[in-house]
Structure 1
Amino acid sequence: MTERTDRAANQALRNDLEDVYGRYEELRSGVDELQRSLATMQVSAESEDGVVRATVDADGKLVDLSLNQQACREWNVETLARTIVETIQQASAGTTRHIEQLVTNHRPSDDGA
């Protein structure tokens, strides 16, 4: 009888281990996908009037900036500079929201944990 009980206990432990390993593999795969998404992420924002468009990476670093040439000729330097800074800040804020969404989407479910 003890041998049968030991076998059943061992099988239960094996099943638990397989389940834990399966959840680990799922989590590891999600982390890999999250890292790839972050490595290639770019978020853009445009000023309300469409004069400035800024694109930043996952770190919030500026990777592209587009300016409307007509506005560059007509606007004073202070207004243009302020609009550029505000647009970059909007893009960086968008990056933060996008990262939060990615992390939420890659968070493992709590069932069985």
Structure 2
Amino acid sequence: MTETADRAASQALRNDLEDVYGRYEELRSGVDELQRSLATMQVSAESSDGAVRATVNADGELIGLQLDHQACREWNVETLARVIVETVQHASAGKHRQVERLVTTHRPPDDPA
């Protein structure tokens, strides 16, 4: 009878370990996918009139800037600089929202955070 109980306990332990390992593999896969998404993330924003378009990466670094030729000719330097800064800030805010969505999507279902 003891041998039967030992076998049952061993099998239950094996089942628990397989379950834990399966959850670990799912988490690891999710982390890998999250890292890939962050590595390739680019978020863009446009000024309200579309004259300026800024693109940032997951670190919030400016990686692209497009300026409308007409705006460059018609706006003074201060206005152009202000619109560029505002547009980069909007892209960065969009990046924060996108990172938050990615992290939420990859969070384990039983994680209370």
Alignment TM-score, normalising by the size of structure 1: 0.96
Q: Could you give the per-residue CA deviations for residues 57-104 of structure 1, whole angstroms, max 9, x where no partner exists? A: 000000000001001100111011000000000000111100000011
Q: Work out the CA distance in 1 between the residues paired with 2:57 and 2:46.
A: 15
Corresponding residue of 1:17: 17
Give secondary structure in 2 for the equivalent of 1:60: coil
Q: Secondary structure at the match of 1:43?
A: strand
Percent identity of the aligned residues? 80
Alpha-carbon deviations, 1:4-47, whole Å to 9, x = none?
Answer: 11110110000000000000000000000000000000000000
Aligned to 2:110, the other structure's residue is in SS state coil
What amino acid does structure 1 have at the position aligned with 2:26?
E
Q: Which runs of 4+ in 1 moved over 4 A?
A: none
Deviation at 1:110, TM superposition (A): 1.2
Aligned partner of 1:26 in structure 2 is 26
Q: CA deviation at 1:108?
A: 1.3
Equivalent-residue separation in structure 2 for 1:97 and 1:30 (angstroms): 19
Q: What's the CA shift for 1:109? A: 1.4
Matching residue of 2:68: 68
Question: 1:103 maps to which residue?
Answer: 103
State TM-score, norm by structure 2.
0.96
Cα separation, 1, equivalents of 2:8 and 2:62: 60
Amino acid at match of 1:66: Q
How many residues are paired up?
111
1:78 aligns with 2:78: yes
Gaps of at least 5 residues in structure 1 are: none
1:38 counterpart residue number: 38
Q: Quick one: which amino acid aligns to residue 28 of structure 1?
A: R
